[in-house]
A and B are shown apart, each in its own frame.
Chain A
Amino acid sequence: MNIPESLHYTDQHEWIKVDGQVGTIGVTDFAQNSLSDITYVELPQAGKVVNQGDELAAIESCKAVASLYAPITGSVIEVNDDLESDPGLINTDPYGKGWICKLKIEDDLQLSGLLSAEQYKPLCEEQT
């Protein structure tokens, strides 16, 4: 199970990469593996404002539909349009080309409440 050190995680298997005031969000290797082949991603509209924990996107696979929840409060500044033609990018490259959207971070303090790679790892092991 791939769990990059430089990212923050949530217990809902989302990751967020922080770059100044911009947070790039996706789902983890564990999540893509559980979902299996992803067939469609319902992306949010640019400009959408979300509170931490709100549903941000919906990820559809052959067997289920999983919700992507906002790890922090913010507004959507960009979505990954490549996912429209190739939703499988989430399976093949969940931390890279399979990024889902970018949020403008409203409250830096929320980041300290998220999980580090160290803290996220045992969650995966528990749920396997």
Chain B
Amino acid sequence: MPFIPNTNLQRIQMLAEMGLDEDGLFADIPAEMRCKGMNLPEPLAEQELRNLMSALAGRNRTDLISFLGGGFYDHFTPAALDAILSRSEFYTAYTPYQPEISQGTLQAMYEYQSAICRLTEMEVANASVYDGGTAIYEAIMMAMRVTGRRRVIVDQTVNPIYRKMIRSYTHNLGIELVETRPQNGRARRSEILDNLRVETAAVVLQNPNFFGMIDDFTDVAEMTAQHGALSIVSCYPISLGILKTPGEMGVDIVTGEGQSLGLGLSFGGPYLGFMATRKKYMRKMPGRISGRTVDEQGRDGFVMTLQAREQHIRREKATSNICTNQNLCALTALTYLSLLGKQGLREVAQSCADKTGYAKQRLLQVPGVRLKYPDRWHFNEFVLELPARADQVIRRLLQRGVAAGFPLAAYYPDMEMSLLVALTEKRSKADIDFFAHVLEISL
């Protein structure tokens, strides 16, 4: 179907027919909220534009040995993945409002949802939301709908970028957001419990947490349930290849970032937010859901289901204003999981954990370097305490071709000497040894 825009003349004619002028169309938007101009530069010729974009792209370093994590990881993606995804039937598929011509997409969405449920050990999943951060926001709104309460506890061990997003998203919604502080890098149960005594809708945690630490939140899930609130855990999907799942911990809503499932880093997106929950909360969950059914002739088929929750039907009473999903990204995640299989995913996770073990050991051999949280279990990330400022060390190591990690002081002001180091299956022993070597000479 071709896209045929309206001509200027047609627009004038339509407005005249309605008895409106251009401004009249936007009369419902308060004057102080209307666009006052966009301050755009002058247009460029095509070659000038190419030069500008090349120059910008040239500022990216793609040659670095990366130990950078913080929620987004440099994982291996098999070549078969791109080959499958670039098929035009997948690449150009749009929202499947007409099930009779979208069975392929709908089946893929259904299988993606099934994969997420298997991975997290939860009962029902949606067809994805934008990213791990908005997934937490949607989970919070969901918990508020279920409990009828407006107070939410978010631990500071949850990704600070996500916490910032949550604050932005909920800014004008009259929600009470409380951040609990960790103890020794771990979510402090006593502080969470104290806060639960006030009527709360949800408790939000992350596993592994932002410092790379593994935790078992079964106790927090129980405590939260006892107080009539819902537990929300944001998790790292690769880690679920070997770790206890949030489902097993008894968590109510599981969210996470699916970037590590074959999406590549892409300078920040497009990413993938997954959400899964218990069947009893299903109707309060936002987002698209693909369902399996039979048609009038008894043949198996797939449709978008529970659409009455969605904006195109329920309007302002909808569960969310999201009316889309990250279809191609969800398909990427499904394809990645299918290519790796259960065994492959376990191997990737184990490889990350093993290399982390080796990296810890090797980096601690560098004089003056210690582990900030020595008696904790880590998955693929850990915090090093350096004898110099982390941001300076990062700059020095960049000159030697190594992206050393994430400077925690960017979000945790009293952690200037702390560096968050991440390992994936892509880092070799030689990479790690080289990192230790350049770190030693840079300190």
Interface residues of chain A, those whose CB is within 8 Å of chain B, are: 39-40, 42, 58, 60, 64-65
Residue pair B314, A65 in contact (C-beta under 8 Å):
yes
Residue pair B314, A40 in contact (C-beta under 8 Å):
no
- Does B64 have its Cβ within 8 Å of any Cβ on chain A? no
CB distance from B124 to the nearest CB of A (A): 15
Size category of the binding interface on chain B: under 10
Given the interface pairs A60-B308, A65-B308, the reply to whether A40 lies near B283 with Cβ below 8 Å is: yes
Interchain CA distance A65-B310 in the complex, whole Å: 11
Interchain CA distance A64-B283 in the complex, whole Å: 15
Interface residues of chain B, those whose CB is within 8 Å of chain A, are: 283, 308, 313-314, 317
Residue pair B283, A42 in contact (C-beta under 8 Å):
yes
Chain A residues with CB under 8 Å of B283's CB are 40, 42
Chain B residues with CB under 8 Å of A58's CB are 317
Interchain CA distance A66-B300 in the complex, whole Å: 30
Interchain CA distance A60-B313 in the complex, whole Å: 11
Interchain CA distance A42-B317 in the complex, whole Å: 13
CB distance from A46 to the nearest CB of B (A): 14
Chain A residues with CB under 8 Å of B317's CB are 58, 65
Interchain CA distance A58-B314 in the complex, whole Å: 11
Chain B residues with CB under 8 Å of A65's CB are 308, 313-314, 317
Q: Which of A39, A42, A64 contacts B313 (CB 8 A)?
A: A64
Closest to B315 in A: A65
From B283, B308, B313, name the one whose CB has the most chain A CB atoms within 10 angstroms: B308
Interchain CA distance A118-B161 in the complex, whole Å: 63
Chain B residues with CB under 8 Å of A60's CB are 308
Interchain CA distance A116-B202 in the complex, whole Å: 47
From A40, A58, A65, name the one whose CB has the most chain B CB atoms within 10 angstroms: A65
Closest to A65 in B: B308
Interchain CA distance A49-B357 in the complex, whole Å: 59
CB distance from A28 to the nearest CB of B (A): 21
6 contacts between A and B (CB under 8 A): A39-B308, A40-B283, A40-B308, A58-B317, A60-B308, A64-B308
Closest A-B pairs by Cβ, 5 of them? A65-B308, A60-B308, A65-B314, A65-B313, A64-B313
CB distance from A81 to the nearest CB of B (A): 15
Interchain CA distance A39-B314 in the complex, whole Å: 15
Chain B residues with CB under 8 Å of A40's CB are 283, 308
